[in-house]
Structure 1
Amino acid sequence: MFAYRERRRFTPEEYLAIEEHAPSRSEYLCGEIFSMTGGSVEHNQIVRNLASTIDMALGEGGCQVFVADMRLHVARRSLFTYPDLMVVCGELPRMEGRRDTLEDATLIVEVLSPSTQDYDRGEKFLLYQSLPSFSEYLTVSQNEVLVERYSRQNADQWLLTRHYRPGDELLLDSLGITLELGRIYRGVEGLAP
């Protein structure tokens, strides 16, 4: 017979207090805390390429690019997470009393890893959809040239477009910019053909 031991549940306040002094980042979902592992070289190259390319394309507009160290709070089911990249347009939607946590984003990007790709495409994407300004989501493979773009059509409908050729242009309607896939994968070695 197996004994069942209940996992300890944490309040959002407890999580935030722990996170302030933790040596590494963690994600919080519905009372549970999950350690986040470091990304691969390819993962980091892709995030760097995306951040610089998007930032240059945005220019002096009213949007800002944030990378993996900026926490995002999604009130639905109480998620605290660190998207690989997010773009916020307009006034920064800071969580009350916090300088390190935002509560909305226009564009969110997740670079997929084998251990998180199902979660990033599934439950996490569903949670992101409750953000009021969230209108575009990119999932980016680090093993092959493949970017999946989800664009909000209305409150409950999203359109998926896949891009898989280095010369493809990726239109980000929410930001009014176009990216070339080749720039996203610039310098990344060992991609599947």
Structure 2
Amino acid sequence: MSAQPKPHYTPTEYLAFERESETKNEYFQGEIFAMSGASRAHNLLVTNLIMGFGNRLGDSCSVFPSDMRVHVAANGLYTYPDVSVVCGEEHYLDDAHLDTLLNPVVLVEVLSKTTAKDDRNSKFLLYKSIASLQHYVLVDSQRVNVALYSRGAGSSWLFEEYQGLDAILPVLALGIELPLAEIYRRLELPG
């Protein structure tokens, strides 16, 4: 018995499918991947991050939740980061929908047991080819821990880790700082 071949979709077919879908799906190299739901901790972290960015940035940047799709043109990924921040002019796919962002400055993923490995490894490798991206932030939903990747000189990326409720996350490209106590507000997690 042979395995059934996986269907192969074009980006155009994916976008048509996705815009009619009741659930969110990511796309990479011709395959469509269903996204799972989120926990209470995950949702609170995303809410706290959006409020933290939004309150500090005002009208200077746009802060989007995970319903804003991001396209990585260099490798063809279509995905839904938990939080996307874009400053200045927003660039979208060349269509009338304005639902696929091309130029985020900051991307945030909240880690869960099922997504942590992928978010730390393969997604970061795909995201870092976005020319506008300056920071990739990974927020742990199991303990008070935030990892920050920041674009350095050339193609280098710098890694810093922040732990505990007294720590402060510097987001230099935006000129702001986010206290971890604010990011983890209303959550009781180990430091």
**What is the TM-score normalised by the length of structure 2?**
0.96
Match of 1:26 in 2: 25
1:69 to 43, 59, 67: 67
Alignment partners' CA distance in 1, 2:179 and 2:190: 18
User: Partner amino acid for 2:64?
Assistant: F
Q: Partner of 2:52: helix, strand, or coil?
A: helix
Match of 2:80 in 1: 82
Q: CA deviation at 1:57?
A: 0.9
Q: CA deviation at 1:21?
A: 1.2
Match of 1:40 in 2: 39
Alignment partners' CA distance in 2, 1:192 and 1:90: 37
Aligned positions of 1:4-19 closer than 5 A: 4-19=3-18
Q: Partner of 1:143: helix, strand, or coil?
A: coil
CA RMSD of aligned residues (A): 1.1
Q: CA deviation at 1:38?
A: 0.8
User: Partner amino acid for 2:69?
Assistant: R
Aligned positions of 1:37-186 closer than 5 A: 37-61=36-60, 63-97=61-95, 98-186=97-185
Which digits, 9 at most, give the CA deviation of each residue in 1:113-136, with x for residues without a partner? 111111111111111111111010
**What is the TM-score normalised by the length of structure 1?**
0.95
Alignment partners' CA distance in 2, 1:155 and 1:112: 28
Q: Partner of 1:13: helix, strand, or coil?
A: helix
User: Partner amino acid for 1:129?
Assistant: K
Alignment partners' CA distance in 2, 1:60 and 1:105: 16
Alignment partners' CA distance in 1, 2:59 and 2:73: 30
Alignment partners' CA distance in 2, 1:144 and 1:100: 32
Q: Partner of 2:174: helix, strand, or coil?
A: coil
User: Partner amino acid for 2:78?
Assistant: F
User: Partner amino acid for 2:90?
Assistant: L
Alignment partners' CA distance in 1, 2:157 and 2:36: 29
Q: Where does structure 1 lack aligned partners over 5 or more consecutive residues?
A: none
Q: Partner of 1:8: helix, strand, or coil?
A: coil
User: Partner amino acid for 1:143?
Assistant: Q
Q: Partner of 2:110: helix, strand, or coil?
A: strand
Q: Where does structure 2 lack aligned partners over 5 or more consecutive residues?
A: none
Alignment partners' CA distance in 1, 2:72 and 2:105: 13
User: Partner amino acid for 1:136?
Assistant: H
Alignment partners' CA distance in 2, 1:23 and 1:154: 42
Identity over aligned residues, as a percent? 42
Q: How many residues align?
A: 190
Alignment partners' CA distance in 2, 1:67 and 1:155: 29
Which digits, 9 at most, give the CA deviation of each residue in 1:88-141, with x for residues without a partner? 011011110131111120000000011111111111111111111101010000
Deviates more, 1:35-44 or 1:96-105: 96-105
Alignment partners' CA distance in 2, 1:176 and 1:182: 19
Q: Partner of 1:50: helix, strand, or coil?
A: helix
- Runs of 4+ more than 6 Å apart: none
